[in-house]
């Protein structure tokens, strides 16, 4: 079981070890097996929360030991909002990377202690191994940077994809992405305007709105987060 669990963790796939508290009997539930498991609802809830815990199933007390990958946040655009967003996400234990080919923006002075990649998305993004436990935000307002970055995110099953801009701006973005082969279902996944509608104005307030929306997408049931 330990060998299987380590393999799942190395592949950034969530898993749960279920222990019968009275008998000590254990079993491992992998992500691919989750939907068919009789404890699906309980397992899904604990995975969303990223926390282990005790449940009762029938007459049994079961401890669910949750192994969920550390969530990543990939920020495309080393802009003012990103300067506020990066430390906020770090406080919430995200692994953060900022991508921006514009070296005047992507500098260590502007982003102390934050991993920076001053390359175009087609070079910067593939090595990051973006996956389902990645939140992806495009903040540059520059189609030459944001559009290819979003196309990459569509392919990687990110749990959250957001892009800065008004509804009018997003409408134009959607047309560009369609012309580059994006499906309507992909475009529908973009949270735009980005962030929860809290009336945010300053970069720091917008960062709070973005992080709140990401958190809702990660933690709440899908129907509640929609």
For residue 226, the model assigns a pLDDT of: 60
Whether residue 78 is found in the same domain as residue 168: yes
Whether residue 220 is found in the same domain as residue 129: yes
Domain extent, residue 154, equals 72-225
Whether residue 87 is found in the same domain as residue 188: yes
For residue 48, the model assigns a pLDDT of: 87
Whether residue 47 is found in the same domain as residue 83: no
Whether residue 35 is found in the same domain as residue 79: no
Whether residue 176 is found in the same domain as residue 220: yes
Q: Which helix (H) or strand (E) holds 154?
A: helix 143-155
The residue out of 11, 35, 67 marking a domain boundary is: 67
Return contacts of 121-124, CB within 8 angstroms, 24+ apart.
Answer: 121/76, 121/145, 121/148, 121/149, 121/152, 122/148, 122/152, 124/99
Q: Which helix (H) or strand (E) holds 211?
A: helix 203-219
Whether residue 62 is found in the same domain as residue 124: no
Whether residue 124 is found in the same domain as residue 211: yes
Residue 74, strand partner residues = 97, 136
Whether residue 94 is found in the same domain as residue 54: no
The residue out of 36, 67, 98 marking a domain boundary is: 67
Residue 76, strand partner residues = 99, 138
Whether residue 16 is found in the same domain as residue 51: yes
- Total structural domains in the chain? 2
The Cβ of residue 63 has, within 10 Å, a number of other Cβ atoms equal to 14
Please name which of 99, 107, 86, 97 lies closest in space to residue 210, comparing C-alpha atoms. 86
The string of DSSP codes covering 9-47 is HHTT--EEEEEETTT--EEEEEGGGGGGSTTHHHHHHHH
Residue 180, strand partner residues = none
Do 19 and 65 meet the contact criterion of CB atoms below 8 Å apart?
A: yes
**pTM score of the predicted model:** 0.89
Whether residue 85 is found in the same domain as residue 28: no
Do 210 and 195 meet the contact criterion of CB atoms below 8 Å apart?
A: yes
Whether residue 61 is found in the same domain as residue 82: no
Per-residue pLDDT of the chain (226 residues; tens, 9 = 90+): 999 999 999 999 999 999 999 999 999 999 999 999 999 999 999 998 889 999 999 889 999 999 999 999 999 999 999 999 999 999 999 999 999 999 999 999 999 999 999 999 999 999 999 999 999 999 999 999 999 999 999 999 899 999 999 999 999 999 999 999 999 999 999 999 999 999 999 999 999 999 999 999 998 877 656 6
| Packing angle, helices 203-219 and 40-49, rounded to 10 | 160
What mean pLDDT is reported for the chain? 94
Distance, C-alpha 27 to centroid of its chain = 28
The CATH number for 157's domain is 3.40.50.720
Condensed to tens digits (0 to 9), the pLDDT of residues 131-170 reads 999 999 999 999 999 999 999 999 998 999 999 999 999 9
């Amino acid at each position: 079981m330990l060998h299987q669990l380590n393999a799942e963790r190395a592949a950034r796939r969530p898993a749960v070890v279920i222990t019968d508290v009275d008998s000590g009997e254990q079993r491992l539930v992998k992500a691919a097996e989750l939907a068919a498991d009789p404890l699906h609802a309980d397992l899904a809830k604990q995975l969303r929360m990223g926390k282990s815990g005790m449940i009762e199933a029938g007459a049994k007390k079961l401890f669910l030991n949750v192994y969920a990958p550390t969530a990543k946040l990939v920020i495309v655009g080393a802009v003012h909002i990103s300067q506020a967003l990066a430390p906020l996400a770090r406080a919430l234990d995200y692994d953060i990377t900022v991508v921006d080919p514009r070296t005047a923006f992507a500098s260590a002075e502007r982003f102390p202690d934050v991993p920076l990649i001053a390359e175009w998305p087609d070079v910067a993004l593939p090595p990051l191994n973006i996956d389902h436990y990645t939140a992806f935000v495009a903040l540059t307002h520059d189609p030459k940077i944001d559009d290819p970055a979003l196309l990459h995110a569509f392919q990687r099953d990110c749990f959250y994809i957001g892009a800065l801009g008004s509804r009018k701006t997003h409408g134009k973005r959607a047309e560009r992405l369609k012309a580059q082969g994006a499906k309507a279902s992909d475009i529908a996944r973009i949270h735009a305007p980005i962030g929860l509608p809290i009336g945010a104005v300053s970069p720091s307030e917008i960062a709070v709105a973005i992080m709140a929306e990401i958190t809702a997408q990660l933690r709440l049931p899908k129907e509640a987060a929609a």
